[in-house]
Amino acid sequence: MPDPNRVRRRHILQWALLWIVVVTIAFGWKYPWLGFSVPLVMGAGLVGGLFRGRWVCGNLCPRGSFFDRVMPALSRKRRIPAFLRNRAFRWFLFALMMGFMMFRASANPTDPMHWGRVFWLMCVITTGIGLVLGVLIHPRAWCSFCPMGTMQSEIGGRKHQLSIDSDACVQCRKCERVCPFGLDIVDCREAGRMTHPDCLRCLECVAACPKDALKLERRAPRAAA
């Protein structure tokens, strides 16, 4: 049976982590070194993406933690529009934001505190967008096209996928109601695994399933011969 304590521990961890983004935004203008929390989280996401896709997004990201724990009470919780998940749109935004960041940093590339201010500014802008979308659409709407989430999805989104026992699944969709990303989990039952590379590996769905039909694969699936 799924371990509900595992999800409970995730919630506690998220309540602790979300303060990182709050403190960074609130005080980064005065203490630019706080801005370096941004590349640290980015680096953790990329390393984690090599092995488990968007696991860091779903479990360790301070901003994702804020969206999961705080935004549901404020959000309209509408379905995330398909165009926000569009691959071309996501990579365009990735190039745009990375270009903007490097342009800002190039003004004084040898000053670490200038870099800290640039990272802080990027955090403020992107979190602001995320808050607006979180209220108007869905708590994790920003995460559907977050540049670093896109990178993690590309490099490891199909590793250690969520497996689905199609015989045990009764299509009650309780898993989908607790999914922080609003993914269509039941639609993947015939494939036997969650085929969407943006799965956060948060295990909320595993804990919610009344038939124990879901579990996270410990090994990446082998490629077909």
Task: Quote the CA–CA distance of 213 and 28 in Å, as a whole number.
Answer: 45
Task: Quote the CA–CA distance of 64 and 148 in Å, as a whole number.
Answer: 12
Task: Quote the CA–CA distance of 151 and 1 in Å, as a whole number.
Answer: 33
pTM: 0.91
**How many CB atoms within 10 Å of residue 191?**
12
CATH topology of domain 160-216: Alpha-Beta Plaits (3.30.70)
**Considering Cα of 117, then 119, then 123, then 125, what sign does the dihedral take?**
positive
- State residue 223's pLDDT score: 45
Cα within 13 Å of Cα(90), Cβ side = 22
CA dist list (Å): 178 to 6, 34, 84, 88, 206: 15, 33, 20, 28, 10
Give, for 215, the enclosing helix (H) or strand (E).
strand 214-216
Domains in the chain: boundaries: 4-155, 160-216
- State residue 224's pLDDT score: 40
Ranges of residues in the chain with a pLDDT under 70 are: 1-4, 218-225
- State residue 218's pLDDT score: 65
First to last CA, the chain: 33
Q: CB of 156 within 8 A of CB of 52?
A: yes
pLDDT in tens, 63-107: 999 999 999 999 999 999 999 999 999 999 999 999 999 999 999
Buried/exposed code over 137-146 (b: 16+ C-beta within 10 A; e: otherwise): bbbbbbbbbb
- State residue 219's pLDDT score: 58
CA dist list (Å): 158 to 94, 109, 139, 221: 20, 37, 24, 8
